Structure formats: structure tokens, C-alpha cells
Structure 1
Amino acid sequence: MIDVWIVAAALSALTAYSAWRDPRKVRIGVYLLSTIVVIAFGIVTEVLVALGKAVAGPGSSTDQQIAATNAQAWVLFGVIAVGLLSMTVIAVFLILTGVLVVRREGRSLSHALALITGGGILAFLGAMVWSILTNREPIFLTLVALTLPAGYIGFGLIAYLLWSRLYVAYAGRVRRKPIVAVIVLGSGLIRGLTVTPLLAARVERGIKERQRWIRRGSRPVLIVSGGQGPRERVSEAAAMADYAFGQGLVGSDIRLERRSRTTMENLEFSRELLRASGPDSPVAIATSSFHAFRAAIFMRKMKWRGYAVGSPTAGYYWPTAFLREYIAVLREHLTLNVIAVAILLLPFAAGLVASYL
């Protein structure tokens, strides 16, 4: 078992080093989840070995060896059962939250992401159980082959979820060099005129982060970033500025960036406003908690020092919003993910070909 623990130690060191160098990387989540999986595998293996020795004993008979094997099989069955139960609970949770989002936010594909994902997981598990109970071996083998690409997507999803949540918890608590600005990222407006609760929470988080630095002796400017959409009567930046004035800020504390339509444009145009402070002056980004890590990833792509902090998101909306963020990350690395999924689909394709020969 020493080899497993060496691998776990190496992965732990790699995770810690990568996070220390720059925590704004998706692959840190992959390292971290791989570490957890290896440790879990090591623990289960140790338990199986110890259980086998305890039941069989020294100089054991054939009956004792059979009993030890049966005990180990029950432990493995328990681990698999816990995994399946966990997936079922997650699927039901996604369905319930997805229904709530559709009811409160309206019907759209993006609002139905949690509902679709949860339904897909339940359908897959149900098909697996049905194929086993009815002895449909071809269907069962087909589903097993499909677990490879599904596992790849699912592993990435969990890794991204794990590290993005840790990043949001970590980013606002680490001491850094003083920043020159806090950039609040825009979103839609109510009736094209006033900030939504989600956007108000972003502004409040930006103000809070700015005040934290003021207490440390610096005075970063608050940049509210967001252009005017086709159905909006004012720019998002103007609406956010009005809200910030209502929270006690004055004109000299705020700058408006009124041109952006996307997150990348939020950052690019805000950076132009800060050229007098230096092209690489560190900043903080304030956005919603589900969006903070991806905003930080954009910063890293721009080679811009800084970090992102997140405002609270309504619990019912968080799974849908997070799934949307993960899909966006997959799309940003589309070529790599398409190649990986295509390779993992080869056993499934081979099975289909063999079935017709």
C-alpha cells in the first residue's frame, strides 16, 4: 500500500504548490479531487486487507478464507451502494431545485439545466438497474461503456465545483499587496432601469471588499462595469452607481465602465480605465459566488494580477447557475474536451460495430 500513499502525497504536494503559485487554475481542482480519490482508494483497500486478515486469521482453513472473501465483498458492496445512493440523492436535489428555478425564473434551456441533469442521472441509473434485473446484457454493456465519457464530464464537474467553492472561500481571506480597484461585474436590470437583487448583492460585496482595504490603509476605486443592453433604459454601470451612491459612496469613489457586454469585456474595458495606475496594477473583482472563479480564470488569461470575491446566491438558483458556469468552462476548452470524449466513446462504438457483425 505504500505506493498508493506515495501517489497521494505527491498529488497533495502538487495541489498545494499549484494553489500557492496561482489559485486561478481549473486543473488545481483536478489535482485535489484526484488526491481525494486516491486517499479514499487507499483507505478502502487497507480496510479490505485488514478485514481479510481478521476474519481468516493465521493458518486459516478454506472456510475461513471464504468467509474473509465474503466479508470483503460486502464491504465493496456497501461502498458501491453508498455511491449509488449519493448519486440518487444528488439527482433528486437537482430536479427539485430545477423545478423551483423554472417556476420562479421562467422557462428556458438555461433555467432547466439542473432539472435536465438530475433527470438524466436518474434515467441512467434506472436503465442500469433495469438492464441488470431483466438480464439485458447488451444494454448493460452499452451503459457501462457510456460511463467512461459520463465519468469524465462528472469528474470534471465535481473537481470544478470543489475548487471553485474553495477559491471563493480562500480568495477574500488571504493577505495580498494593496489593490488599486474593485471591479463590480454587471448583469441584467429590472425593467431595464434598476438593479436586480443579484446585482445589488454584487455591488454590496464590492463595497465591502473596498472597505476592507480602506481599513488596511489603501483607498481603491470602485469600478462598476456593464454596458446598456437593447432593452435597457440605462447602462448597468449607471444603475450600479446609483445603488452605490445610496450605500454612502460619493462620486470620487466610483468610476463607470459603460461599454462592456461580456465578462471579458468587463475586464478589458475596466483595465483601460486603470492605465494611469499601471498596466499590471492588482485589482479585485466582485461578482456572484457562482461566477467568481471563472472571472478569476479570465484575469489569469489576461495576465492580470488580482483575485475575485463572490456575493451570496439564492440557494435554489445556485445549482443551475453553477452548471451554466461549468458548461461555459467546457466550451472554452472545446477541442480538448471533444477529443477526450471521443476517445472515451471508442469502447461504445466498438460494441455497436460488434453487435452488427
Structure 2
Amino acid sequence: MPDLRALADDIKQWSRELGFQQLGIAGVDLAGDEAHLHDWLQRGQHGEMEYMARHGDKRSRPEQLQPGTLRVLSVRMDYGTGEDALAWQTIADSERAYVARYALGRDYHKVMRSRLQKLADRIGAAIGPFGYRVFVDSAPVLERALARNAGLGWIGKNACVINKDAGSWFFLGEIYVDLPLPTDAEASAHCGTCTRCIDICPTQAIIAPNRIDARRCISYLTIELKGSIPEEFRKAIGNRIFGCDDCQLICPWNKFAKRFDEPDFRARNDLDRATLVELFAWTEEQFLQRTEGSAIRRTGYEGWLRNIAVALGNAPRSEETTAALESRREHASEIVREHVEWALART
């Protein structure tokens, strides 16, 4: 058996060399989080995300998901901070499209999975064969709880993991391992009495500290929901066509975050400055081509047009916006037609 403490130190150093900003080591006890998850599911606050309930307790019991798991290596990879003012400017310009910061560049799943695999290979080269499995939002994993237990940050009132030095603009990934490595100290919470994220949420989806009703959340409505967006939320969506960052943009801890310029996460296709009319004109072929290797693919072309139609309905009426909506009035998708008609009626 290798010197486990020395190995843990080596693993952390190797993770930094691979471009991760932090790695922590957690145990597998998630009993308290399991109770929270069960309550959230029983209340139906996961909406149509049936995958959240599909795997029983495997999400909160790592050793059931990957037999033999003793520890979880939790990593964070920063995807950019320091552009908050520009983000607010985009949200305020109702003729432009707002895309959540994490989705502007290359799909983080692919970037992180490749690097986590390299980390696992590095460990294997040092100690020989061992049991492991890499995860990047790809299986039932309670990644935020594991990140908290690994010392990467606390779970804030907006349900994001917040790090005192890095804020919340980062992705998470895990390697389940069968090595009894020493664990790191759990992160303590530092939200205090602040409720800025709760107060600013456009659809009031944060119904209590660390409690999100997905059915009200703009990220859910524009990405996960495949049908019609409830009319009660359409105005509040504004020009957010893929996800929402308001609760992170307002978070005081993000003022202290440093920027790590990862080339893979730089904005593609001018998505950080594009207008709604420009994006609404994309054909399905263009959508598929320009979102290749992007998280935006998740919404699908129909969802893309649906979301932009809502945003155009919230934009100032002009000949250009009206013409754009009229061009999709006879679209083959009933979902698209419905949202276009709603937008045109908002005169």
C-alpha cells in the first residue's frame, strides 16, 4: 500500500498540472443530503427531470453506484469571472440574447472528462491498477454535496457551490476511487444573512435557502423543459435564451473571484454579443453546426427557437423583430408556433 498522505498530495499537484484549480477528497457519507433530496423529489420540485429520481439512492450512496468506492476526488475548474458588468449589460439590452456564461464556449463535460481520465491514468502509473470511475455530470452523483465535503466550497442559498477565493463560477467533476485516502475538511458556510440571490431571482425560483423549485427556474424552463413554457414565467425570462446567471452575478463572493482564462471556455459564434434576431434566423443546419461541442445542444433546435421567440416577445417591438417572428409563424413545430403567436400578441 502506498503512502496515502503523500499520494493525496501528489494527486492534488497532478490535478493542478492538468488545469484544475482545486482538488479535494471526500468520504462517501451523504445521509443528510439524501434526506434533502428525497424531500425535494417528493414535493415534485424537480419538475420533468425524471432522471433525478430514476436511480434510487445511487445518487446519494457512491458505493452503490460504483462498488468498492471509499473516497471521492472532487475537482473544480473555473470557467471565467471578471465579466460581470458585461453580463449585466447584455441582460439589460433586450434586443440582445443572454446565454448563461458556462455555455458560451466548449462543452465543459468533454473538457473535464478528458482531463479527469488523464489524472486517473497518472494515479495508475504511480501505484498500479486501482478501482475508479470518472464522472462529469454524467451519472447520478450529488456533486455539490461531495464538493462541499471535499472542502471546495459551501452550498450557498442559491444552491451553487461557493468558494471564498473563487466565488461560484466553476465546474465540478469527480473520480470515485477505492483508495482509503485521507479526507479534507468540509467547507463551512459563509452566506450569513445575505439574501441577494433569493431577492433577485426573476421567477422567484429560490423558495428557501438552498431550495430551488426547478419548475420556476429559468435554467430549467429554457433547457430541461421540452414542452411549452408556462405563460406566467415568460415575461420574467426577459432575453435569457439559455440558462440564467442572475443569482451568481449578484453574489458578493464573486467580487473576489480571480479569472482563469481557459481557451476552451471562450465565447464561440459571438454568443456573448449576438442579437435575438440574428440567432432566430439560424436554420437547423446552422444550429447543429454552430453548437457542435457545445452545451447548448441540450435544448435542441425547437427549444432554441421557442426560447428566442419568448425573448423577442419581451423585446421592444420593431419592424425587424416583427418580421423575424412572422418568418417562423408557420413553423412545423407546434411549440414554436405557440410561442411565436404569444410574442406577436405582445404589442
> TM-score surpassing 0.5?
no
- Could you tell me the TM-score, scaled by structure 1's length? 0.28
Structure with more of its chain in helix, by fraction: 1
Larger radius of gyration: 1
- Could you tell me the TM-score, scaled by structure 2's length? 0.28
